Amino acid sequence: MKKILASLLAAFALMSGAQANTALVLDKFPKERMSDLAALQNGAKLFVNYCLNCHSAAFMRYNRMKDIGLTDQQIKDNLLFASEKVGDLMKVSIDPKDAKAWFGAIPPDLSLVARSRASANGSGADYLYTYLRTFYRDDARPSGWNNLVFPNVGMPHVLWELQGQRAAKFVQEQDPHDPKKTIHKFDGFEQLTPGTLKPQEFDSQVADLVSFLQWMGEPVQGQRVRIGVGVLIFLAIFSFIAWRLNASFWKDVK
């Protein structure tokens, strides 16, 4: 229980450096990806290739990915880079001291990050989907990157080769509540260098990655929903039968 609480607290400090931008409207994560095994498998590949270098998922074992249609051999051949056995936990070998020196904070465990980022503004998947797609170049930051969702974030843009480099444009507008003040408002992105993927392709890849992060936070979610639906159907049928039996037993009683 202590480990789970520690992971949740660490996830709240994800990519530390500043408070999240709660005023930004989050983009909706395409929820249908959660039932797409191919999307989850691709998300697992992206997670291992781009996230597992610094972030661990210490509450997840590699062989749990058999639940999304992968075999032990596929896991060994394609996803097992930081461990030797498919039954091992998804940990990283990065030195915490080095990580803190490079990023300003130790990269948190991502096992429960999708659940920890849920808020009144949207689900944790909405947050991550928007966050991973709103990095922009900022030479004032140590990493050279900044983020709309998490201003002054310590994490660099690890997917920049796929998305390309972008600059954020901001304008000054008058505050509608106070004419004496102005608001620093986001006014779109400017593409500086192209990425290896088109914008729609990049968004699709991010959606796959987020679907895996969402699945990892609760691998039995799909099974739980299916069991819940089955139970509700059973109760509905049983209630109808009980109602008719009750009417039959008491029909001659005045």
Enumerate the domain spans of the chain: 2-219, 223-254
pLDDT category, 36, cuts 50, 70, 90? very high
pLDDT for 248 beyond 80: yes
pLDDT for 16 beyond 80: no
- What pairing do the DSSP bridges indicate for beta strands 164-175 and 178-194? antiparallel
Question: Are 111 and 7 in contact, with CB atoms under 8 Å apart?
Answer: yes
Mean pLDDT computed over every residue of the chain = 87
Instruction: Name the 3-class secondary structure at 55.
Output: coil
Q: Report the range of poorest mean pLDDT among 8-12, 48-52, 250-254.
A: 8-12
Q: What is the pLDDT of residues 91-122, one digit of tens each?
A: 887 888 888 888 878 889 999 999 999 988 89
pTM exceeding the 0.85 threshold for the entire prediction: no
Assign a CATH topology to domain 2-219.
Cytochrome Bc1 Complex; Chain D, domain 2 (1.10.760)
In this predicted structure, what is the pLDDT of residue 12?
39
The token duo for 75 is 């896991």
Residue given tokens 């002054």 in the structure block:
152
Question: Are 130 and 27 in contact, with CB atoms under 8 Å apart?
Answer: yes
**Average pLDDT over every residue of 191-204:** 96
User: What are 194's strand-pairing partners?
Assistant: 164
pLDDT for 10 beyond 70: no
pLDDT for 216 beyond 90: yes
Of 206, 123, 147, give the one whose Cα is nearest residue 15: 147
pLDDT for 132 beyond 60: yes
Which DSSP letter does residue 67 get? G
Q: Give the start-end residues of each E strand in 91-177.
A: 135-137, 145-147, 164-175
The separation between the first and the last C-alpha atoms of the chain, rounded to the nearest angstrom, is: 58
Separation CA 132–CA 6 (nearest Å): 24
**Average pLDDT over every residue of 185-198:** 94
- What pairing do the DSSP bridges indicate for beta strands 89-90 and 57-61? antiparallel
Separation CA 40–CA 237 (nearest Å): 34
